Structures are given as structure tokens and as C-alpha cells.
Structure 1
Amino acid sequence: MKINHFLYCDVVLHMVKIGRIFCKNTFGINWLIAFFLFVAAAFALTRAAFASDNQDVNLVKPTCPSQNFPEFFFVYANSETIQRTFLRIPLKVQWLDLDVEPEPKPVVKKLKYAQIRFPLLPLRAEREEKSLSLRIDKWSENKAEATLFKQDTGYQVTYFFVKNECWVLTAIEDWSM
């Protein structure tokens, strides 16, 4: 997690001071137990708040479905939970604004976790219902691209992945016309 260590520690120390005062005045003789519960809750909430705007979204390190991209992508494409877990925040999303004159113009946004709508990649049932197909365009040891498309139409969305400890989605480009 990329968090300024000193800022994080400062927040936790202030929470400890507030907790000590609150628990001592509220719970009397059992203040020590209440104090530890307060600090644990404050620590978890603080960590979650920092994580939501940084690249490490999860507080518990998840298990990578596979180091092999085709195997990873098969699991990714069929699980909303895996899609929520293995992505880099902010997520770069690019699409064509078809309403701009005289011709469509690309729009790029970087989305925070709270701004993302899941599933990012339609799950199998929806793909079958809409006659959408998936293909892996290219992959190497640490980069991969896959495309969601509909045959004989202008529908085409490309998903970009990188691999560190596991594969993560870094960007989506929707070039649909």
C-alpha cells in the first residue's frame, strides 16, 4: 500500500489518544478492554479509508488464481469477486464520446474504487445472452491484453493487465462505435 507512513502513524496516534480518553471516561474500571477494542476498530477504519484511494484495495492479501495469464483471465472473466479484487486503483478508463462534432473524441478518466461499476467485464451468462466474445490478444511475462467484442458490429472493449505478484487490471479502452 502506498501511504505516507508518517501521516498514517499520526492518524493512528491521535485515534489512540481519543480512545484512551473516551474509554476511561465511559467505561470506568473496564476501560482497558474497551480501549483495545476502540483502537482496533479505529485502526481498521483508518486503514480501509487510506486503502480506498490507493493501489492496494484489499486489507487481506488475496490468493492469485493463476500466474499463467490465460488461466487467470478465465477465472477473472467469470467472477465478479475476482474482478473487484485484482485491479489497480485508480483505474484508467477510456472511451469514445460519440456526441462530439465533427467526429468522435476520446475521453480518459481515472476512477477511484467507489466510482467503478462491477462487473467490469460482463460475466459468462451476460456474454452469452448478448453474443459477446472474448479473446486474448497478446500476453508476455508481465503484460497482457484481452478484448471483448461482438462479431460483425463496432462493439470492442480492450482490457489491459500487468503482473507483479499477480495479474491486475490497469486500464479499459472502449472503442465501440
Structure 2
Amino acid sequence: MTTNKHVRQMKWFSIALLSLGMSSGAFASSPSDAQCPSSNFAEFVKAFSSGPEVQKAFIASPVKQVHVTADGKIPKVVERSLKGLATDELKMLLPENAAKSNLTIDIELPNRVIVRDQVGGFLKIFVFKHDDCWVLNRVEDWTLEAVMDAVTRSEKQTPGERELKKGVIFDRLVNKASPESGIYLYAAALDSYLDGAQKGSAQAAAAAAGISLSGQAPRLENAKILDLLVQASTSIPDVGLALAMFYCDEGEYDNERVCINPQKSIETLEIAAQQGSTNALIRLGEVYEVGNVVPADLIRAMACYREAQKSDLEPTTPAIDRLAAKGVVMDNSIQCIKAGSFR
């Protein structure tokens, strides 16, 4: 009798739990009690991306969401707390969905998943934390296409200009991101600049080479950097200085070594000077004065500084005075460019 009474009590207890939605199954569906797919982050992400039930169980509440909006024509980063996420927010974590949209998925230890394209058009970062199991607690959407529509509305743009502006915005937004996320914004900036360069923007080409050489964005192959600098220098004479330096050091600024290709370096500076770059004339003067690219030629250095002085007195006057103090005098028979060593 005691046993039967105990059984009846357990049945009534179970019925009471069911009526309150508190059955053992209900308890199991909570994040704290659900089966953790894996403590290994990569394995967990694999299960999380393909399992709606896993997603439901292992999303923090509230979950942080970051996105970029346009305040007039000014990009603005907005962060908010949500009780949950829309289904569409996670669909690109599934490899087949990402592939259809030409997106790549990178699992970055210890706790990030990055979904992006290769032209700066799509960038989402999913950030997880680990307690008893991994839980998605932050989604950063840095995609700028809607923002660009607002920023560039009613503007007439040259080919590649939209991509150039997008790259600049990505670059500036780095200050609003964590260091861990910022590296992907730099990468998106580079991708945007490269897309703009491909569409014909000389400024985008210069920006792509610059951000790659800076070390902030991934380093491009030397041949690609050279192509970008050549493209930019044809329209922007001052880029010739960067190109001339690249011919000498190939972007390895920390290593003191002999100029790799002095002939191309000097020719590039001369072309830039002929295109109107005063800075190229000043650089030619420095090269001939110091002698670290070609043998020193102080008279020619004076000619370069004098030629640059016609356009800009301030930076050239000290150089001219310095050479004059060494006894160097102007020789009108020697000119900076026309008497170039490699012409």
C-alpha cells in the first residue's frame, strides 16, 4: 500500500509539473541544462551553425547586437541588447548558405566566427563566451551597403569612388571596434580599396597599397602592390614617391640595405617631377645629396632643390642653405631632370 501511495503521489506531482510547463523536458531545453555539443570551439560552431535547437539553447539572453547606421551622411555605430535573434541573423553560419552568397566563414580562436566576402560588401562577426558551454553573446554586423546608399545618395560618383569611400569608413570604424574585431575592419577596408582600384580609381589603388604596406591590413604580394602603385602614380604624381621607395626597399622599411632597383627608382621620381610633383623634386634632391640610391651629386642636388623652390620655398630653403654652407654653387649647365643619370 505504501508503494502504491508513493506512486500515486509521484504521478500527481508529474501532472502538476506538466500543468505548469515545468516537466523534466522543459528544464532540459534551457541553456544551462541542454546538452553541450562540444567544449572544442570549432566542433561547437559546426553543431551550432547547422542545428536550430542548438542555436535556441546556446544564445545568451540578452544578446548584444552591433550594427552601423547612417545619421544623415555620418556612419554611426549602434549597440543594443536583444532578448533573441531573428532566424535570418544566423543563416549565413551554414556553409552552404555562405557559399551561395560567395561568403567565407573563418573560425578564429578563441571565440569568434567571421563571415565575410572579398569585396568589403559583407562582414559579420559572431562572438561567443564559454562558461559550462559556449554561448553566443554578441553579433557585430559591420556591413555598410545600406549606409553607403545613404552617404552617397544624390552624388555623382566616378568609377570606384563608392568603394574608396567605403574603405575609408571601414578604416575609421576601427576606432569603434575591439582590437580583435578591428583587424577584420582593416581587412574589409583593403578589400573595398582593391574593388575600387579594379573599377578604375587611382585613389583607391593608392589606398590599397598604403594600408597593406602599413601592416594594419593583410600584406599583399609585392607584385600586386607594385601594380597598384603604378596604377595610382599615372594619375597622382605624388604617389611616384611611394613607388620610387618601393623599387628600392619593397616595403621592408626596417632593413637597412642597398636600393634594389636604383634605375627604376630614379626614373619614377623624374617622371613624377615632370608630371608636376614638387615633392618628387625635393626627393630627387635628397637622393643626390645623400647618395643612398645613386652616387652623391651635390651640384645636381642643388639643381633639384632650386627647381622645387620655384613652387614651394619653405621646405627647400634650408636644403639650399645647407648645401651652400658646404660650398656648393648652382651650375646652370646641370639640371635636375634633363641631366638624369638614367635618361
TM-score category (smaller protein): 0.5 to 0.7
Identical pairs, percent: 24
Q: How far, CA to CA, are the matches of 1:61 and 1:119 in structure 2?
A: 26
Mapping for residues 1-177 of structure 1, pairs under 5 Å: 36=13, 39-44=16-21, 58=30, 61-98=33-70, 100-113=71-84, 116-118=85-87, 120-122=89-91, 123-139=94-110, 144-177=111-144
Relative to its length, the structure with more helix (as a share) is 2
Greater relative CO, 1 or 2 (CA 8 Å, sep 6+)? 1
Structure 1 window deviating more from structure 2 (32-41 vs 82-91): it is 32-41
SS in 1 for 2:90: coil
SS in 2 for 1:176: coil
Q: How far, CA to CA, are the matches of 1:44 and 1:59 in structure 2?
A: 16
Q: CA distance change for structure 1 residues 36 and 59 in 2, over 3 Å: closer, same or farther?
A: farther
Q: What TM-score do the two structures reach when normalised by structure 2? A: 0.34
Q: CA distance change for structure 1 residues 36 and 69 in 2, over 3 Å: closer, same or farther?
A: closer
Q: What TM-score do the two structures reach when normalised by structure 1? A: 0.63
* Alignment RMSD (CA, Å): 3.2
Consecutive unaligned residues in structure 1, runs of 5 or more: 1-31, 46-50
In our comparison, the structure showing a higher alpha carbon Rg is 2
Consecutive unaligned residues in structure 2, runs of 5 or more: 1-8, 145-343
Amino acid at match of 1:43: L
CA displacement at 1:91 relative to structure 2: 0.8
SS in 1 for 2:66: strand
Give the number of aligned pairs.
Answer: 134
For residues 144-167 of structure 1, what are the alpha-carbon distances to aligned partners after superposition, in whole Å with 9 as ceiling and x for unaligned?
111111111231101110111111
Runs of 4+ in 1 over 3 A off after TM superposition: 32-38
Q: CA distance change for structure 1 residues 59 and 91 in 2, over 3 Å: closer, same or farther?
A: closer
Relative to its length, the structure with more strand (as a share) is 1
